């Protein structure tokens, strides 16, 4: 019976391809299920053989630890050289969008808090 190795929710294409390559390099059989058209499922990477699960999880854990270090280093480098997206850079590039999102957040918070304020008075 197949076992789910990796849910593809919030997994980028680069990470997906790296994990597939890792599994192929270690001769671990896998297949992909596609996301549902209605957004109920985001798809996943499944192992064909249950016996490979422990080895695949160990490999995936090592890969994710290495990827985490690599991605953090890239983010720190981007922050140092000024190419990382920050709130200030986004506000400079798209001020109307940022103000609209902040207004929508304030409106949502007001709608949530309104019943409490009305009941208090």
Provide the residue range defining the domain that includes 29.
Answer: 1-84
Q: CB neighbours of 56 closer than 8 A, spacing ≥ 6?
A: 5, 23, 26, 28, 30, 47
CATH of the domain at 62: 3.30.70.1530
Give yes or no: residues 102 and 70 share one domain. no
In a shared domain, residues 12 and 51 = yes
Judgement on whether residues 89 and 36 belong to the same structural domain of the protein: no
Is the same domain home to 119 and 65?
A: no
Q: Are residues 77 and 95 in the same domain?
A: no
Pair (77, 47) in one structural domain: yes
- Give the residues of the chain that fall short of pLDDT 50: none
Into how many domains does the chain fold? 2
The DSSP code for 72 is H
CA distance 41 to 9: 8
Residues 63 and 65: their CA atoms lie apart, in Å, by: 5
- 95 and 62 in a common domain: no
Q: How far apart are CA 26 and CA 104, in angstroms?
A: 49
* pLDDT value at residue 120: 84
Question: pLDDT tens, 71-81?
Answer: 999 999 998 99
Residues 72 and 101 grouped into a single domain: no
The three-class DSSP label of residue 35 is: coil
Domain match, 92 and 71 both: no
Whole-model pTM: value is 0.71
* In contact, 91 and 98? CB cutoff 8 Å: yes
For tokens 């076992």, name the residue.
3
Say what the pLDDT of residue 121 is: 66
Own/partner pairs, 30-37, CB within 8 angstroms, 24+ separation: 30/5, 30/56, 31/2, 32/8, 35/8
């Amino acid at each position: 019976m197949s076992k789910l190795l990796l849910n593809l929710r919030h997994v980028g294409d680069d990470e997906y391809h790296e994990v597939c390559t890792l599994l192929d390099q270690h001769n671990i059989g896998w297949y992909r299920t596609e996301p549902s058209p209605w957004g109920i499922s985001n798809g996943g990477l499944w192992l064909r053989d249950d016996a490979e699960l422990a080895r695949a999880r160990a490999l995936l854990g090592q890969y994710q630890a290495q990827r985490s270090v690599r991605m953090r280093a890239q983010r720190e480098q981007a922050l140092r050289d000024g190419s990382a997206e920050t709130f200030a850079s986004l506000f400079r590039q798209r001020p109307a969008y940022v103000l609209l999102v902040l207004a929508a957040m304030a409106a949502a918070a007001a709608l949530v808090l309104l019943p409490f304020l009305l009941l208090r008075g």
